[in-house]
Amino acid sequence: MSTVGSIIEGASRKPVTLATLGAMAARGEAFACLTCYDASTARLLEQAGVHLLLVGDTAAEVVLGLPRTIDMPLDVLLALTAAVKRGAPHTVVMGDMPFMSYQASPDKALENAGRFLVEGKADIVKLEADASYAPLVQRMTSAGIPVCAHVGSKPQHVALTSGYKAQGRTREQAEKILADAAALESAGAAMLLVEAVPTEVADAMVERARVPVIGIGAGPNCHGQVVVLHDVMGLLDKTPGLARPVANLGPVIREAAMQWVRSVAERDFGGKTFTMRGG
C-alpha cells in the first residue's frame, strides 16, 4: 500500500514525521503540502492525507486582511501555528518565521525559533535565507530546532525586488541559488524550499540535495509541493499563476451564506429551540 493510502484514516492515521518525509523523498515518492491557519481546516486536511501543513506568513493577507506578508505579527502566527498542530497532531506542521523575527540578531532569532517549537508546537521552522544565514541555521540546528531554508524568490524581500518576481532565470542567479541551498544544507537545514525558479534550477537542487526539497512554482520534480490553501481551493477572487485551483469553494460559501440570510428573513432557520419549564 502506498504512503498516501496508508495514512488517510482520519484521526487514526499513522503519524507523519520529518523522518517520514525524508524516507518518501529517498523513494522518489512526492509528498503534499498546503498552507493552513486554523484547527478546523487542519483536521480536514489531515483526514485528506496532506503530509505537511505550512502556517505561512500569508496569513497576514488571507486571514488578517493586511496588505503584505511582512505585516504578519509574530505572536499571532505563533497562536495560529499551535492551533494547526492541535487540529492535525499527526501531520508535520511548519512554522513560518515572519519578517524581522530572525533578521535582527542571532540571539533573538534563536529565541523566536524556540518559541515556535514550544508555544507554537511546530515540528520545524522556515526562514527565508541565503548563504549568509548558514551560521544561524547551524546554531538553530545545534539547539535542536529543525530548519527549512527558503531560497529562490523570497516574499519577505519584495521591497528590494519591487514585487514578487521569479528568480534563477540567468546563469548567475541560478548558480547563486544553488550555492545558497548547498551552504544552508551543509549548515544543517533539514529541508529546502525553493520558490518561483525555472524547472532546471529546481531539478539541479533536487539532484544535489541530501534533504527533501519542497517546491512552489518550481516545476514538477521537487520532493514536495506546496501552495496557499486559499488559492488552490478557489477562495479568492484572483488566483496567482503559481496555483492551479482544484476546487471553487468561494461561490459555494457565498451561496450558503445567502441561503442563511434568506432563512433568517423568513424566520425559518431550524435548530434547537427551548421551552419554559413547568412550575
Q: Which amino acid is at 49?
A: G
Cell 483526514 sits on residue? 47
Catalytic residue status for 111? no
Distance (Å, whole) CA 27 – CA 18: 14
DSSP conformational letter for 216: E
What separation, in Å, do the N-terminal and C-terminal C-alpha atoms of the chain show? Answer: 63
Q: Which one of the listed residues 46, 195, 207, 266 is annotated catalytic?
A: 195
Residue 227, exposed/middle/buried by CB under 10 A (0-12, 13-18, 19+)? buried
- Strands (DSSP E) along the chain, which ranges? 31-35, 52-55, 92-96, 124-128, 147-152, 191-195, 213-216, 224-227
Contact 53, 36 (CB under 8 A): yes
| Distances from the Cα of 140 to the Cα of 107, 115, 145, 149, 257, angstroms | 10, 12, 5, 12, 46
Catalytic residue numbers read: 195
